[in-house]
Structure 1
């Protein structure tokens, strides 16, 4: 179950809201107290997809930096080195010339240190944090982030014998298994981003001429032996380059060569949790169990992916403009659209009442836009209107919900197709909306009109006209096969679209369809529509065709000035009065006679 939940956390990320900070504070209590105010500020700020995400991004690296622990260990190293120098000075006698030589050396070292810090700041900029001087010594941190273009696969080896402190989740020291061997198991997670490696340096006065920098390597998710090997690697680089500035070499080696200590067969292996052993004091490694660290790593990767989304440029497939991710919304179907376009689309559908068409604008996607996205895009009044409309549409689409003919309140019909209004208690037939009539057929519209005529409320002529109107109405009305909304056809082909739910259907048979393949069975146009179109074409172009068929050598009137002209061409005439050429078919003035006669423009089909 742990594996499943971890992978799920890695693969999904909401687009509208920042991920909640699930990372535990790994640093010591002093570090936690020093960063508590900043974490509270970060928790109060939200990253909005509607703009301004650049200034409100969480400081994601903070939980993975053990600043107080690194400072404490560097102070121990400085104290030990100072004690060693004092002991050495007691055994040696310093001369005046030697003291001046050391002062010159210290002055030269300071200048070289300042030059190196200036170069590091130019190279690493945001990844370098300079804390000024501590006890007269330069003190700084460098964050090293791994570039994982194709992601990283992390295999966490767990053991069923692992026991944790119930208060802080730390692995117990010195726990040994008894009896049978513990059952080992592992689960694998994919990461797009790994938490940073932090190199903390304190430059002594004798660096770089004699001593290397005092340093700590902090990797709060890595096993202790691997971090100790990284410290040994830095010692080896100093041994190869004594008397030179090595911080840049250290950083690049940690960025590029540290993978060889972690990557085996294309994946990173962590664990299993073992009793803590004394290692390199400069290595600050994982102190929590893998059960606590892996979810925090997944949370970090998910937040970094969201942060990268906010900072990258994306193209809106509606307006085709590019902008930062902070101006975009990612729908659950993973399609991106800018806030302005998507908001305009949602407001338009709410205003027109077509709330069932609030789906992803992508042409190949029909995923619905969820309510939490609509709440961010619509005003309070618009969202209330959407909520009311969606309820009404849902009730309309339910086959067992009818409305009271008196107070228009939704009612549930029973098995006998009767319903009772909960407001006015009117008991009525759900078919004819008349008072309930058990064991009797509903009255037809004609019978209802005849009853009105018999009671003297309508004349015979009014009844006849009303019957004709009802027949004409029912002849051109069909119910949508999806939402049962009545739809009237005024003109055009038999492919209809419901304005309520967007469903396409055939007007002739009432079946739901997609595309035009269905019309191999049903006709696309009704015979009366085809006849009407043919009559219109005959009226519009029949005279033109007859005129164009007059023989060459006869006379024909100019369509503009009505002067008679000699017809010497079957396609075009030249008017001697207007001094212009006219087409004999469409009767229009023609500037260029090449290719005009019989063209779509000539026969009136230029729109097609």
Structure 2
């Protein structure tokens, strides 16, 4: 084995031990591989894109890595530099060429020593400063590009030849589209580009974007993904229980930045949703009005609770809108946007045209209800209310909403469905089936008992037996509390609260 071959093998082994599997990929069939180098960004680093009079600026902490693909000649490092290509989605062809020239100069300065790690360090620590990119990266727009942006934002390979004049390892322009690679970089050798659309625009989630817009979108997605990965590996103190948790077990609210463990925030959200207080699903921090995103709420609570949250949040929003009325048809009850200039409204669901003032079939602009010339009795008003849900599950959800809601919420539901209808229907609903579903039997006298509030320590009103509502175990007055300390049962109404 020659001295050059031994040095090459030692260098490749050193790179394998220094870099992770996502940063260094070796081609075992030859002395070649890839190094992905993430440039270090200064604080308050901004990426900007100007299109016409619109300037978009975004602070970023991470940019996709530069991809250094190399192959080592037989006489490297003693006589020839590595053959290499440099690829990047967010640098222009001219900038990549300057970096390629600098890499060659760095090899010349070593006097025949191995240079791959030096190249990687330069790209990581000094590449942006070498290109005079300090705190702002301006992406070329379509309007200001002197050539096709697909080539101006070049991810074309910048190939370098060795001093003996050997052919380029990869020819310039072998990857012709700047958006052909994913922002993660290629996973293996060689790189296979995607086909661009016929008009040169890129497609992202069904939207037609210019190359610069698509690149900006990819940079934002990559930055968010890397920040989430970084967050998951850090340790934070929960703002509720003050326990230290990994970021992977925490949730950070985007509006305020406060961090809570998933258990605490999940229990807080469950309690608010169960009580029908969807407006109370906010940041648990005192005096903070920020709210978790629906996606965060969905990840913290069960599917049934999230469905309730989604429904109540929509209903609450509609109830707060002055221009929203409800279709008076008993079989519909859908929300309808009211025109301010007219009493006429048409339901988009069932097509019923009605008068907003008297809630009857539309009869023209003149309505006696407007001048208070005729008042409806309570029974007449009840007939114009929205119809109640037809399914058992729908009635139960409505009852839960009505029974657990605050005074304002109950008033809203009564104005929609009618006070008498709600009261009568709820008594009907408290049928044998409902009792069976919601009641439990006393473990001593087998009397049916319903619990609608309080803790899980119950006393039968018939025989006086003390028992646990969760597991129906009989309890002794002397050691009843010990049961909740030595068993999975929780004394609180809501587990963990």
TM-score (norm 1): 0.42
Taking CA–CA contacts closer than 8 Å with sequence separation of 6 or more, which of the two structures ends up with the larger relative contact order?
1
TM-score (norm 2): 0.50
Whose radius of gyration is greater, 1 or 2? 1
More helix by share: 1
